[in-house]
Amino acid sequence: MMSDLQSRQTWLEIATEAALAAGHVIAGLFGHLEEIREKGQAGDLVTEADQKAEALILEILGRHCPDHAILAEESGYQGASDAPCLWAIDPLDGTTNYAHGYPVACVSIGLLVNGVPEVGVIYNPFRQELFRGAVGLGATLNRKPIQVSQTPTLGQSLLVTGFAYDRRQTKDNNYAEFCHLTHLTQGVRRSGSAAIDVADVACGRLDGYWERGIKAWDIAAGVVILREAGGQVTAYDGGALDLKSGRILATNGHLHRELSQALAQTPAWFRSQYS
C-alpha cells in the first residue's frame, strides 16, 4: 500500500535535511582526504568523506524515523527485516571521481515503501544542485519544477551510461553496448555517478541512461525523481524494474522502446571485440 501524501512530504523534508548536511561534509573534505582505500573489488574506493557523510545521514534519519530500516552503502542493512519503510543511501555517489579530485559526485537518499521508491533526494554540492521528488508531489531542481526532454528518437539523443567495478572480470561489462549506442546516437557520456546520470535525464539534459552492476542505493532516489519528471524507468527489456537485478533503463519515455530494442540487438561482433 502506498503511503499518504502528507507522509511523503514529511519524508522528503527529512531526506533533504540529511542530503544537505552530508553534502556540506563532502564539500568540506574535498581535496583534503587523509585516507583512500579499496574495500573489495579493484577500483571500489572508500574515503573518510563517505564514512562521515553516511554517519551524519544515519543520525538524522535515526532521529526523525527511528522505526524505518536503512540500507546504506558503507554500513549495510540496519533495522527490522520486515520494516515497510526502507531508506536506500549512497552518502557519496562518485567516490572514484571524488578521490581523484574530479568534482562530479553527489549524495543520494531514497525511500522505499513496501519495496517501491516513493521519495528521493539527490544533492550535488559542487554545482549546488538539489534534486527532489516524491510520488504525487512532482520533481524539482533547486525547488523549481523539472521535466524530461522531448527528444523523440534514438538518433537525436544524447545518452549516458557507466561501467561496474567487475568490468575486468566479466564479459557482461557494457563495453559492447556502449560502442553500439555510440554509433546510433549523437553521443554517449559517462559521469561516474549513477545518481547524477538519472537526475540529468530527469531535468532534460540527457535523454536516456542504462547501466548494469548498480545497487539500490545508487538509483532509488533517482527513480522517483525521474518518474515524477515524466520519465520512464524499467528493466532493460521494458519490464518492471527490479532494484536487486543491478540493471536499469531510464529515459524520457519517448525513446524508451527504441533504446530497449537497441540494447537487445547489440551485434555479436561488438561483444566479441569488447568481452
How far is it, in rounded angstroms, from Cα 269 to Cα 31?
Answer: 43
Give 54-101 pLDDT, tens digit per residue: 999 999 999 999 999 999 988 999 999 999 999 999 999 999 999 999
Coil, strand, or helix at residue 239?
Answer: coil
Strands 69-72 and 45-47: unpaired
C-alpha cell at 12: 522528503
How far is it, in rounded angstroms, from Cα 83 to Cα 34?
Answer: 37
Place 1 in a pLDDT band, splitting at 50, 70 and 90: low
In Å, how far are 4, 27, 104, 151 from 127, measured between CA atoms?
32, 10, 9, 25
C-alpha cell at 108: 543520494
Q: Model pTM?
A: 0.94
Contact 72, 59 (CB under 8 A): no
- For the chain, strand residue ranges (E) read 36-38, 45-47, 69-72, 76-78, 85-93, 106-113, 116-124, 129-134, 138-141, 144-145, 159-161, 188-189, 208-212, 232-234, 247-251
Q: What is the mean pLDDT of residues 205-227?
A: 97
Residue whose cell numbers read 582505500 = 37
5-145 is a CATH 3.40.50.620 domain: no
Q: According to the model, what pLDDT value does residue 168 have?
A: 61
Q: Domain map of the chain by residue range?
A: 5-145, 154-274
Looking at 3.20.10.10, 3.40.50.1100, 3.40.190.80, 1.10.3720.10, the CATH number of the domain 154-274 comes to: 3.40.190.80
Beta partners for residue 238, in sequence order: none
Q: What is the mean pLDDT of residues 113-134?
A: 98
Give 137-168 pLDDT, tens digit per residue: 999 999 999 999 999 999 999 999 999 766 66
Q: According to the model, what pLDDT value does residue 46 have?
A: 76
- What percentage of the chain reaches a pLDDT higher than 70? 91
Q: At what angle do helices 256-264 and 175-184 cross, to 10 degrees?
A: 130
How far is it, in rounded angstroms, from Cα 116 to Cα 211?
Answer: 20
Q: According to the model, what pLDDT value does residue 202 have?
A: 98
How far is it, in rounded angstroms, from Cα 216 to Cα 90?
Answer: 9
Give 163-172 pLDDT, tens digit per residue: 976 666 667 7
